[in-house]
Amino acid sequence: MVTPDAPLRVSMIGHGFMGAVHSQAWRVAPRFFDLPRPVEMALLVGLDQDATQKAASRWGWAAAGNDWRRAVERPDIDVIDICTPGSTHAEIAIAALQAGKHVLCEKPLANTLAEAEEMARAADRAREAGVFAMLGFTYRRVPAVQLARQLVLGGQLGQIRQVRAAYLQDWLTDETAPMSWRLDKKLAGAGALGDLGSHIVDAVQFITGQVLTAVTGITRTFVPERPLLAGAAAAERGHVTVDDAAVFLGTLSGGILATFEATRMAAGRKNALRLEVSGSAGSVAFDIEDLNVLQYYRVDDGPVAGFRRILVTEPEHPYLAAWWPPGHALGYEHAFSHQVADLVVAVSKSEQPQPTFEDGCQVQRVLDAVERSSGSQRWEPVAPGAGTSSAP
């Protein structure tokens, strides 16, 4: 029987960009947050044993392996952290949950709505046995985003009328950039719509506490073929099977009108996630390129009204008490440490961590409706589901 203070032993599957970020989070969170259980980075799993061993040694994992199934079968592993392409999420997550392992899975939840729904059902069954699944919509855990949600749900903005959300990147602007798994629908599921659009859909639903009910939009692939390898000859080209950009409108369950843009073709924009929520009494605006700041406007300020710049670094702000003195900024990686801390606390209390797989499934329903709308050129309903959770 596991004692309450027994170490939570983690195996992470995948060691690319997200693997590096998650590794830092698992290493740092227990050293800054007062967690109810210690954490052990027990096993890193990748396809190539040598490369995985090098990554494990660099990032602080105790051991390396090349078979995720063996990790799932190990009785001493408590958590499976999935940082692999979307095409593998369903198989790994469902097997892990059935084996009694808690699961943290990177977004988007799956490549298809059918897979996402299967994962959500598996998570529901596992929860009945005290096994929990959590989805990695990490931008929820940026302190400024948390503060925006508090202001919106606390009524400080009055009746919310409109939301604007954009996620702009430019890494595909160069037409000679080579093919990668992110440009293959079989591996990635979608392009900018899934990779970036999923983030802003979740952020809007999280901040407003409402869910999208209908959408109309269009997706576009501007560069349909790319070199198979960097510097490859023109004849050695592959077909891009995902979108480069998506633009869509939506209505939320409380009547809010929302606009969304997700693109990898915005020259000069490296990682520009931008949100603005407008209500009858005020507005908030957030830009991830100014990560520690929330802009807040109050209508009642009258002739001196203007967006005030809130530096979200005070110990009273979400998560900040664990970090630095006021005015000392956090970075991109800190939200992942917050994610680990929340997961460990929830699992230790036998409580459902947030966001859930059902939250991810709701986002997948929205993405599916956008793709349908791009083909039909009509408003498309978002399939009903349990919706997004109110907890962080």
Rounded CA separation 207/227 (Å)? 40
For 172-189, the pLDDT digits (tens) are 999 999 999 999 999 999
Q: Tell me whether strands 8-13 and 380-381 are parallel, antiparallel or unpaired.
A: unpaired
CB distance 119 to 364 below 8 Å: no
Q: What is the pLDDT of residue 267?
A: 97
Look at residue 1 in the predicted model and tell me its pLDDT: 37
Domain annotation covers residue 272: yes
Q: Are residues 145 and 257 in the same domain?
A: yes
CA 164 to chain centre: 18
Query: Is residue 291 domain-resident?
Result: yes
d(CA 120, CA 133): 9
pLDDT attached to residue 253: 96
Tens digit of each residue's pLDDT (9 = 90 or more) over 12-29: 999 999 999 999 999 999
Pair of tokens at residue 254: 């409380």
pLDDT (average), residues 136-160: 98
Q: Which residues pair with 216 in a beta bridge?
A: 249
Q: What is the CATH number of the domain that holds 13?
A: 3.40.50.720
User: Which amino acid, one-letter code, is at 245?
Assistant: A
Same domain, 170 and 52: no
User: Mean pLDDT across the stretch 74-97?
Assistant: 97
- Tell me: the pLDDT tens digits for 98-118? 999 999 999 999 999 999 999
Pairing between β-strand 8-13 and β-strand 39-45 as defined by DSSP bridges = parallel
Q: What amino acid occupies position 72? A: V
Domain of 266, CATH number, reads 3.30.360.10
Q: Are residues 282 and 249 in the same domain?
A: yes
User: How confident is the model at residue 391, as a pLDDT?
Assistant: 56
Residue 165's CB: how many other CB atoms inside 10 A?
Answer: 23
Last residue within a domain, chosen from 95, 118, 139:
139
Amino acid at 114: A
Determine the average pLDDT of the residues in 36-63.
97
Which of 97, 114, 139 is the C-terminal boundary of a domain? 139
Mean of all residue pLDDT scores within the chain: 95
- Stretch 148-167: mean pLDDT, rounded? 98
Task: Tell me whether residue 341 is in a domain.
Answer: no
The verdict on 85 and 183 lying in the same domain is: no
Residue 3's pLDDT is 60
* Average pLDDT score over residue span 346-359: 97
**Residue 104 bridge partners (DSSP):** 81, 134
pLDDT of residue 226: 94
pTM higher than 0.85 for the full model? yes
Give me the number of domains the chain comprises: 2
* pLDDT range class, residue 232, cuts 50, 70, 90: low
From the CB of residue 112, how many other CB atoms can be counted at a distance below 10 Å? 18
Question: In this structure, are 33 and 156 located in the same domain?
Answer: no
Q: Among 124, 139, 154, which residue terminates a domain?
A: 139
Please compute the mean of the pLDDT values over residues 200-206 and round it to a whole number.
98
Q: What's the alpha-carbon Rg for the chain, to the nearest Å?
A: 21
* Tokens found for residue 19: 């693997």
